Chain A
Amino acid sequence: MAIVAKQADPPRRRNGELPLLGVAMPGRRTYRVWQRNRDVFFQLWRTELVPPLMEPIVMFLALGLGLGTYVELTGDLDYIQFLAPGVLVIFPMFAATFESLWGAYWRLERSGTYAAILATPARPEEIVAGDILWAATRMLINSLLILLVMAVLTAPWDLIQSPWVILTIPVNLLAGVLFASLGLAYTSKAKSISQLSYFFSLFIMPMFWFSGAFFPLDGLPGWAEVLAWLTPVFHAVELDRALITGDLAWSDLYHLGWIMVMVIPAFWFALYSMRRRLVQ
């Protein structure tokens, strides 16, 4: 009796999928997807650019001048000076988050944009990566607008105190990639448009209040400081504050390290999870 050796199936290289990672490496069509989003945005730029310019102005006036006159901080910063880096992170984060939640969900489920792009040589990973980079670009655009407002307000209130401020631009872009990756990862799991607000009210809004953007965390109990440490906003605000005031220390590099380390799994998971939703 002959014994037939059981042959293993030949390994299948599934349309560029990398072993272990379960995603294909995004290629140059990432840029094509980014270009598409940019073109749609600038089609409507007159209306799109007004809110990101108005929001920080209103915030500086209301909190900086209104509330700020009642607040005395222990350090040597005025309240409006303390607030500035918070505004520089929070509002652009909103833009990146909106884009990666409602914007991406719309393209995924309603307008058919993802499906249209999938029929071209672009891969799912490139659609997601393009959307993440676009949402990060929204963060960048809004950051630049706020920096412009801050530069104008520096005359009366000395908001920008150091040329290091220029480095808040790459820091915010990197933080934007992280916020966008988290947003798209959540969107890839969302079953309805109403579920998107959970991410906002349970994740974004607590970060908004409790990550050292509006008041120093020193006064809070220890566990609150630990929670804040776990949020990306805290690290981005600390970094931007150091760069704006010029009060830099080597230890600030550790905030940068935190963001750089977190962005990798977040980006990967967004690609991985959305691929599984699109390729069924």
Chain B
Amino acid sequence: MTAIIEAHGLGKAYGDFEAVKGIDFHVEPGEFFGMLGPNGAGKTTTIRMITCVTPPTAGRLLVDGLNVEQDDRQIKARLGVVPQDDNLDEDLTVRRNLEIYARYYDVTGSLAKERIDEGLELMQLADKAGEQIHALSGGMKRRLIVARALVNDPRILILDEPTTGLDPQARHLVWRKLRLLRERGVTILLTTHYMDEAEQLCDRLVIMDEGVILDGGRPRDLIAKYAGSEVLELHLLPEERASIRAMIEPHVGESGRIEQIEDVMYVYGLDPAVAAEVGAQVEDPYRVYHRRANLEDVFLTLTGHGLTE
């Protein structure tokens, strides 16, 4: 199967500043693909290049076999884009927003009505069709923007941090809707700085930091590769650190290691029996977490810093 998005040595420089430093990745058709990284990692710049808004300054980028520097119209006609910021027409109703947006794709008349009804239904907004935008909650606005991105029946849906600023319930609803779209065969590319979002949704992802891709793969493979299956996370007082560390060190396996990042100690590859013992040594058990490894650990291992600053 040929890739639906292909980047070779893709770069973007603004004067001396390189926002994206020659990255390679590809997205398969039907896949839920993620870009995980903190703010400033180059995710949004990459999205802007894919959506033909920002021209690359290095490398090559093909979307559905077309070149972003020459075939902007054809590419944009096949994409649905959900931007980071809400940019709905506040003065218009929900339905009118979608009708006006559909017109840019020459989707009008009964076809537009069909697509809009379907999109609103899918995003659980059918009963809000006549509402003004300012009457909607943050989660509804986000879902409406997803519905708007579907009016042209896109081959690829692109979402730039779609749940930033939403409360947990609203986020989960958005996630459910995105999984539903993936089941229907839409290729999805999502950027996020939430590791739980990436882990819950993505079939495959790349981890980005400071304009480069550090590694990529299936979430569980990346976790197994960089963090093992379990992590002991210790929030210790400064005076406890040395003794606990001395106690743990002999029991950390070949592939494991100990990382102290600011006030938190992360222990990878520790014998589970020892992990339970450590809990008993620390006075306050709430400062010891013996948990499943996740993408945050992968990111920490790769960069030495966290996903959120």
Identify the A interface with B (CB < 8 A).
12-16, 29, 32, 35-36, 39-40, 43-44, 111-113, 115-123, 278-280
Contacts and interface: CB of A to CB of B under 8 A. Distances in A.
Contacts, number: 78
A14 B69 contact: yes
Interface string B70-114: 111100110101010111111110001000110111000000000
Interface centre among B73, B91, B105 (most CB of A within 10 A): B73
Contact of B55 (A40, A112, A279): A279
A29 to B, nearest CB: 6
B72 A15 contact: yes
Contacts of A112: 83, 85-87
B76 A16 contact: no
A190 to B, nearest CB: 20
B54 interface: yes
**Interface size bucket, B side?**
20 to 34
B69 A120 contact: no
B69 A111 contact: no
Question: What is the interface of chain B mostly: helix, strand, loop, or mixed?
Answer: loop
Contact of A123 (B73, B89, B90, B152): B73
B52 interface: yes
A121 B73 contact: yes
- Enumerate the 3 nearest inter-chain pairs by beta-carbon distance, A residue then B residue, closest first: A112-B87, A120-B104, A119-B81
A38 to B, nearest CB: 10
B280 to A, nearest CB: 55
A280 B77 CA distance: 21
B73 A118 contact: no
B76 A121 contact: yes
B190 to A, nearest CB: 15
A118 B83 CA distance: 11
A76 to B, nearest CB: 49
B29 to A, nearest CB: 21
A243 B152 CA distance: 48
Contacts of A117: 104
Contact of B72 (A16, A32, A40, A280): A16
B51 interface: yes
B89 A14 contact: no
Contacts of B96: 39, 43
B207 to A, nearest CB: 26
Nearest to A120: B104
**Of listed B70, B104, B152, residue having the most chain A CB within 10 A:** B104
Given A119-B79, A123-B73, A279 B53 contact: yes
B102 to A, nearest CB: 9
